[in-house]
Structure 1
């Protein structure tokens, strides 16, 4: 019988081995995605400021400096045969896009009170009438509310307007003194959030009343509401700060801004938010990097490190991210300010390969049977390799038996013929 000290040492060794293996597997599972540059959508570098997928998710409307507007495929964005450059005479910088909930038109807003309407049916851009009411303000944010009857606009001087096709543009609020950085309307509730650079966050209710929620001490740069089934939105601020915002539909002015979470151990700054098809919140960073934020649990995770981008393409690493779209935090596409499209996907090295490499290190400090057993239980590749070898041995043994019987019968026939 094994002595108690020996058993304790074995148990401790087993626990250490299990812990090391768990850490190894966790590290492999949390590794960043790989990134690949897919090329620019035009030969010359652009000055993109905004990009937005349509409600169906199959097209991407992009806009930026010098009045540039183009509609491209969200599936194959670098395919020039599917792109249409939209012609118009306005050369002002365009800064934000909002698709109508019906998906057949979009509004594009920018400097000097520019507001354009894009028709997806015939690829036509027209100037929205009545923009004189904006007094040549540089419009920095725009969004339709859920039923598409009103859109809200914000300027770089903090003024908030509303727009409808019947009433035109109407001044709503001019309490803020800093730029409106983003406007986001919830897709299920008649509520819209407005972020500013130094005046905090405001909420607009169904009757167009604007209430300021506070948090003026933060430099808010973007806000988004990732899931129609949640009464929560997420806002980001400089200093890598993220806050959940709990909407109060009954008393909008009582909407609560949660204490910011500061995402440490990262370089750079948050610049914008994108929502993936599975409602994952992706935060774009400068320099070029991505993190994801989980609303449930209020946790942030690195998705794409800047070092990974630099290794893949120094040119890509030097661009500014404008938007991200795709399936989830492991498969997606990105577009940069110069018009470069890039893709991200899981690393080529899979967990099983990492486990094979781990055997050489761990087997020297572990009980061979224990560590190999642990690795075997967690590796489909090892299991397949083992079962393949076992079946091959069985087949070889079976074939050898058949060959032996066949040889015996041949020998018996030969002996009978001699007689």
Structure 2
């Protein structure tokens, strides 16, 4: 998606209030480290399926692998060379964990291979040349991945057939994020202003009702600016029957939601600005403060002025 160690799916209008429990920081920041002596412009990251590694991507073709278990240990880092100077916007591990797809500006669609740490163009990448790709996600079977772009276009990808446009989609709003269910070939697409869509196992797309007039973040639960969440019920047999539950508003929070990461046990970690984090449980809609801005500011005023880009859980660190 970046700061503390903690990973989300996709998604989260009468607004029902949700009071945040535990209005104090549960996580205590005790130390920090840097990957370089200058701003490397991290945009997001992804944890490998085995939970051992994290790939970070960002501006000017930045790609870097660190240990998910010992993220403070720079000796375990692997500096990766994408041979690019354009910005990466997203990264997605293949479900088997041997490779990862990288998506970025001007049609950058690349593959990282764990065998030799090489990065190369994927099959058919010329099809999306010139498009600023914003999102990428593998569906759980690993046979297809989906790419989204800033022009609102959506693409399915396989190594055998390359890129194919999903024609029945046809929206013009930038794709904010794509996320796929962990055990079923159903994915959710979030756009910036055209609402939320569900991709079925046959690649058919269905739009969710009452989701257009909000600026949606990535994440069944979707998160929008204004501290709004909306749970999504997915129908795995017929994606057109998927529906959204009544939206809710998170209360007693400082700031606004800027991004999300996947947490442990099916929870979602909400990134806040100013610097803060909340853990949300999609099934019960309960939310728990993890990091409060005032506590971070007291610990380090410089860090409190920065933005969380990616978080993941690792229980040995708790």
TM-score with structure 2 setting the length: 0.88
Matched residues in 2 for 1:127 and 1:262: separation? 42
Q: Is the 8 A contact 2:108 2:129 kept in 1?
A: no
Is 1:290 matched with 2:277? yes
CA shift digits 1:312-363 (9 cap, x unpaired): 11111111111111246xx86xxxxxxxxxxxx5xxxxxxxxxxxxxxxxxx
Q: Which has the higher helix share?
A: 1
Larger Rg over CA atoms: 1
In the alignment, the residues of structure 2 paired with residue 194 and residue 309 of structure 1 have an alpha-carbon distance, to the nearest angstrom, of 33
Pairing 1:163–2:157 present: yes
2:222 is equivalent to residue 235 of structure 1: yes
Q: Which runs of 5+ in 1 are unaligned?
A: 1-27, 224-232, 333-344, 346-419
Alignment CA distance shift 1:111-1:130 (3 Å): same
Query: Mapping of 1:12-411 within 5 angstroms?
Result: 31-33=24-26, 34-173=28-167, 174-214=169-209, 215-223=211-219, 233-327=220-314
Q: Is contact 2:95–2:140 with CA below 8 Å preserved after alignment?
A: yes
Looking at both structures, which has the greater relative contact order when contacts are Cα pairs under 8 Å and sequence separation is at least 6?
Answer: 2
The answer for unaligned runs of 5 or more in structure 2 is: 1-20
Q: Say if 1:129 and 1:296 are closer, same or farther in 2 by CA, change over 3 A.
A: closer
Shift of 1:31: 3.6
Q: Aligned-pair RMSD on alpha carbons? A: 1.7
Count of residues in correspondence between the two structures: 295
Deviation per CA, 1:193-236, whole angstroms, max 9, x where unpaired? 0001100001111111111113101211111xxxxxxxxx2110
Residue 30 of structure 1: how far off its partner (Å) = 6.2
Alignment check: 8 A CA contact 1:37 1:316 kept: no
Q: Distance in 2 between matches of 1:131 and 1:198?
A: 27
> Following superposition, which runs of at least 4 residues in structure 1 exceed 3 angstroms of deviation?
28-31
Q: Give the deviation of 1:59 after TM superposition.
A: 0.5
Deviates more, 1:141-150 or 1:276-285: 276-285
